[in-house]
Chain A
Amino acid sequence: MTAGGTLDRRAVVAGLLQERRELLVVSALGSPSYDLMAAGDHDRNFYLWAAMGSAAMVGFGLAQAQPDRPVLVLTGDGEQLMGLGALATIALRRPPNLTIVVLDNGHYGETGMQPSHAGRGVELARLAEALDFPSAETITELQGVEPLRRRLHARAGLHLAVVKIEPRNWPRALPPRDGVFVKNRFRQALGHSPS
């Protein structure tokens, strides 16, 4: 298996966010947060800037507290590899409204494109299957994005999708770094006032 794939990560993320309606999105530090910002800032986006390996757990906690809304976690292969145990934790509870999308370029893009475990043969979708995720898939063609988008809005079951993207760094689209502001904006969009 070759490292990463051929898809344009910005086109993948923009496609997933079309007609987002009730969608809540958590993005991992680095490129997934830039991709989410590039697709358009939104009150119901939460961008992480630290705590590598935590994005799926933030999305899991959010999905548990907001069971009536679809929750999308956008992460990368290196980030999710740092939180492999989290996949086991999430697999036990199977929140039906949670979708984890791993943008897999097979590399640590932020630090100089060193190959990751995923780029050296570890397949995260197979790991998710072994953990008994109700469904997991690997997407290598852009046509796979629209069915994934429809699926996450249906809240039809915990799902992990590995999307094979081109190992290439795009110009950064920097989201707000004030976490308190982004948190309060997010919570207010769900009807919770700042304390």
Chain B
Amino acid sequence: MVSESEPGWQREVFDVLKAAGVRHVCYVPDAGHAAAIRLAEADPGIEAVVLTTEEEGIGYLAGAWLGGEGGALLMQSSGVGNCINTLALQPCIRFPLLMVVTMRGDWAEFNHWQNPMGQATEPVLKQMGVMTWRADAPAEVSPLLRGAATMAFEGDSACALLLGQRLIGEKEWVK
């Protein structure tokens, strides 16, 4: 199951979430989250919940927190667009909302239909009151996510780490 080509930072995403005490990992699949999804699904201490659309994860994490447990939401940048209205829950309820977002339409994007949402992802998150950080190099992922998790769980805040396309690598486009 483990891909030889899977970069180490992908595993670090899971390790940081685990160390932060995350009990629930909600996700809409993306290649950049493949390791974290696989490890979360295999971990008996974590409820891994696959969603049909990303905003489901915000309601889910609000509910889990009402019940005393924290989690994280993994998605692609296009999913941020799906979340906008539901993001209102976070400032109104104030619960830890930690999101990890793999970027499209960000750099070296072969499909320009991804560009409008990709370029809007970070501004939209900020407009909805989410604090954001960007990782564009492997060494940045773990410390940035650790810091985001601290601010989410210690401050009942909305925090998103964006994983840039320079980090993920150019997607091969087979014509």
Question: Which residues of chain A have a CB within 8 Å of any CB of chain B?
Answer: 24, 26, 46, 48-66, 83, 85-86, 88-89, 92-93, 179-180, 182-183, 186-187, 190-192, 195
Given the known inter-chain contacts A54-B58, A58-B66, A180-B94, please indicate yes or no for A89 contacting B156, CB distance below 8 A: no
B interface SS class: helix
Q: Is the CB of A53 within 8 A of B55?
A: yes
Q: Which of B88-114 contact A (CB under 8 A)?
A: 88-89, 92-95
Q: Is the CB of A51 within 8 A of B63?
A: no
State in angstroms the CA–CA spacing of A180 and B66 once bound together: 11
Q: Is the CB of B68 within 8 A of A195?
A: no
User: B158 in the interface, Cβ–Cβ < 8 Å?
Assistant: no
Q: Is the CB of A93 within 8 A of B49?
A: yes
Residues in A whose Cβ lies below 8 Å from that of B59? 51, 54-58, 60-61, 86
Residues in A whose Cβ lies below 8 Å from that of B69? 64-65
State in angstroms the CA–CA spacing of A89 and B154 once bound together: 29
Nearest chain A CB to B148's CB is how many angstroms away? 17
Nearest chain A CB to B68's CB is how many angstroms away? 5
Question: Which residues of chain B have a CB within 8 Å of any CB of chain A?
Answer: 23-24, 47, 49-53, 55-69, 71, 85-86, 88-89, 92-95, 154, 156
Nearest chain A CB to B112's CB is how many angstroms away? 27
Given the known inter-chain contacts A54-B58, A83-B56, A89-B49, please indicate yes or no for A190 contacting B67, CB distance below 8 A: yes
Contact of A187 among B66, B71, B85, B86 (CB under 8 A): B66
Given the known inter-chain contacts A49-B92, A51-B89, please indicate yes or no for A66 contacting B56, CB distance below 8 A: no
A interface SS class: helix
Q: Is the CB of A51 within 8 A of B88?
A: yes
Q: Is the CB of B63 within 8 A of A58?
A: yes
Cβ-closest chain B residue relative to A46: B66
Residues in A whose Cβ lies below 8 Å from that of B58? 51, 54, 57
Residues in B whose Cβ lies below 8 Å from that of A62? 63-64, 66-67
24 residue pairs bridging A and B, Cβ less than 8 Å apart: A26-B63, A26-B66, A50-B92, A51-B58, A54-B56, A54-B86, A58-B60, A58-B62, A58-B63, A61-B61, A61-B64, A61-B67, A62-B67, A64-B47, A64-B67, A65-B68, A66-B67, A66-B68, A86-B56, A179-B89, A180-B92, A180-B94, A183-B66, A183-B94
Nearest chain A CB to B149's CB is how many angstroms away? 14
Q: Is the CB of B63 within 8 A of A179?
A: no
Contact of B52 among A58, A60, A66, A89 (CB under 8 A): A89
Nearest chain A CB to B9's CB is how many angstroms away? 28
State in angstroms the CA–CA spacing of A157 and B52 once bound together: 22
State in angstroms the CA–CA spacing of A195 and B93 once bound together: 13
Nearest chain B CB to A95's CB is how many angstroms away? 10
Contact of B95 among A48, A57, A183 (CB under 8 A): A183
Residues in B whose Cβ lies below 8 Å from that of A52? 85
Residues in A whose Cβ lies below 8 Å from that of B92? 49-50, 179-180
State in angstroms the CA–CA spacing of A64 and B71 once bound together: 12
Given the known inter-chain contacts A55-B59, A58-B60, please indicate yes or no for A88 contacting B52, CB distance below 8 A: yes
Contact of B68 among A51, A53, A179, A187 (CB under 8 A): A187
State in angstroms the CA–CA spacing of A122 and B9 once bound together: 46
Q: Is the CB of A51 within 8 A of B67?
A: no
State in angstroms the CA–CA spacing of A71 and B52 once bound together: 22
